[in-house]
Amino acid sequence: MRSPFFFILMLLVYSLASFYVLFRFWQALPNIKVVKIIYIVLAVLITYLYLFSVLLHHDVPLSLSRVIENVGSIWFIFLLYALMAFILIDLVRLINCFFRFLPNIQSIGVFRTWQVVAMSVVGVITIVFLIGYVNFRNIDIYEIDITLQQKSPDAKQELNIVVASDLHLGNTIRKKTTQRFVEKINSLNPDIVLFAGDVINSDMRPVEALQLDEELKKLQAPMGVYAVLGNHEYISRDVAAVTHFFKKANIVLLRDNVLVIDKQLTLIGRDDRSNQSRKPLHELVAQTKNDLPILLIDHQPYNLDEAVENNVTLMVSGHTHNGQVWPITWIVENMYELAHGYMQKGNSHFYVSSGLGLWGPLLRIGSKSEIGLIRLRFAEN
């Protein structure tokens, strides 16, 4: 667990970044006292209201929670891009102090130069956001073909395994989007559906109010629909309610469980590493007493070598969102051995989804919302 010092440091960095960006926009305001007072009030609210709502959690009314969560998360991404833009602009201005390559323009039309700069920053970020929204709406199908040697006489020639992670159902991913997700999954004709964690965002209240379990019940997979918990289900602070939700949705929740599915494969669902008392992988694999392929669902893609050492055939994960927005995509890529996509190590196969849903605003900038379609083929020795 991180120390309070870490969170204080992060709050300080966040506050300084927000002040820098908000001060730059302040410089573009007209010299009208009422406008500046309103700006200060809105600036403080947009900077800290979301953080306070996270601390208060269930004490915030549901309708207000939705507004705060959506506005606050949009602000976080806007802050990231505005910060990069103003740092770049100020760097250019600093260089200009020594080399004087910029024209000395005080105004453009009726606007002061800095007002034009601020409006341009907002305009460019708005365009980037629109592209990010369109990118989120266009769900990608990540296709993987794996052929295995198979000893079971009951094995089908091919299984369609559909993997989805990080739906983050809640205040942002609501009923219509959930319906679209279910329709897209069903269109792939899955034999089995695997949810690799973070199906719930962080608050069960909107999920229950919208009865999103009724939408997930429409999933069609003859071999069943299975899920594991992610870190966000633990953030919800109500794992019992989450468990009940999956039961109502006809989704089998696996928490360090081992199942044999239709005599064709062994499915292991690990509890999320947020649970420090979850079982070691070798104990779960020891419960498998057959030669069937071992499919492992583990939300966070750490310790891939552990899966190789325990002869896991296929491990599916999520969690990373592939960074979700640039340049965080670059950071995430260097945080994990496999941040997104497919990889084979030894005899083990790995797939890490970038996520079907997302955290925060409906934006994918430099990443894609996706569903994994794994065609598992069986060949006799």
Show me where the domains of the chain are located: 4-135, 140-379
The pLDDT assigned to 380 comes to 63
Q: Domain 140-379: which CATH class?
A: alpha beta
Output the pLDDT for position 305.
93
pLDDT of residue 111: 58
Q: Residues 208-234: pLDDT tens digits?
A: 999 999 999 999 999 999 999 999 898
pLDDT tens profile 43-66:
998 898 888 777 766 777 888 888
Q: What is the 3-class SS of 256-291, one letter each residue?
A: CEEEEECCCEEEEECCCCCCCCCCCHHHHHCCCCCC
pTM of the model: 0.89
| Contact status, residue 366 vs residue 329, Cβ threshold 8 Å | yes
Residue partners of 57: CB distance under 8 A and separation at least 6 = 203, 237
Q: Given this model, what pLDDT does residue 110 score?
A: 46
316 Rama class: left (phi>0) / alpha (psi -120 to 50) / beta: beta
Contacts of residue 66, defined as CB under 8 A and 6 or more positions apart, other chains included, come to 171, 206
Rg of the chain, C-alpha, whole Å: 24
Regions of the chain short of the pLDDT cut 70: 1-3, 56-57, 105-111, 150-155, 380-381
DSSP state of 360: S
| Cβ atoms of 276 and 241 closer than 8 Å | no
Closest CA to 51 of 35, 70, 67, 72: 72
